[in-house]
Amino acid sequence: MAARRPPISSELEAELFAANQRTCCICHEPRKHVQIHHIDGDRTNNEWENLAVLCLDCHSRVTGDEGLGRKYKPEEVTLYKERWEVACEGDDDDGEDEETEGDEDDDDDDEEDEEALYSKAREFIIRASDHQAFPFRLSKGVRFVATVHSDEPVDITVASERVYDRWDDGEEVDPDVSEEDHLEATVEFIPPRTGTFVLWIENNDKKAKATVSLDVTIWPSEDGDDA
Ligand SMILES: [Zn+2]
């Protein structure tokens, strides 16, 4: 039955592994054995957007093979992949920032002119009664700033990944940041520890989809020089 399955070319495989630093895009644990996962479940679809680098543990959580734990939706895997590939791109510093602004290099010694660690704008649609989640790996003390514009009122929440998972399972949670019913809002969050945090945007309208633009900038920790 697997007869017509076109293989992923070795060039594509190498590019994917390089773009993900041969590291699982969900758990980011270094030196784990990884494999390529077809996000939409179609093993003949070898488009870049459909291929995620996952460790075996996360792979079985995604496919649900192990029968326990929460299963990841394809959209979530896509987000982890995109986010991780952007993070990896920032790491190897070859000057190809696609979405960051301000490429002018003023030779200022002015330290107040700090450079953002990460900056990305995106636009997407959230269906009625649905939400969109964006995981970020944040170091303790950085300043996470997210600006949201929407054509329907949305709720904006930031919390640790664990809190998000519990919320997603229907539990009442106490998130770090919670802004309800906004067409426009900027939220700031300074993580109390290093870890994975999730920003999620919820469209509570039962009928209307929301078109949302999200701008996220992460600034370096401020108490670095003062200590
Ligand atoms: Zn993993």
Does one domain contain both 130 and 67?
no
For residue 147, what are the CA distances in angstroms to 127, 138, 142, 156, 170?
20, 17, 16, 10, 26
Percent of residues, the chain, with pLDDT higher than 70: 82
Q: pLDDT for 168-183, tens place per residue?
A: 999 999 999 999 999 9
Does one domain contain both 217 and 163?
yes
In a domain, 14, yes or no: yes
* Interval between CA 180 and ligand 1 midpoint (Å): 32
Distance CA 132, CA 213 (A): 12
Distance of CA 17 to the CA centre of its chain: 18
Q: Would you say residue 126 has pLDDT above 50?
A: yes
201: CATH? 2.60.120.380
* Interval between CA 27 and ligand 1 midpoint (Å): 4
Q: pLDDT for 83-112, tens place per residue?
A: 999 888 766 554 444 444 444 444 444 445
Residues with CB under 5 A from ligand 1 (ion): 24, 26-27, 55, 58
Domain of residue 197, residue span:
118-224
In a domain, 2, yes or no: no
Does one domain contain both 68 and 129?
no
Bridge partners (DSSP) of residue 189 are 144
Does one domain contain both 192 and 135?
yes
Does one domain contain both 70 and 16?
yes
Distance CA 116, CA 114 (A): 7
Does one domain contain both 41 and 80?
yes
Per the structure, how many domains does the chain have?
Answer: 2
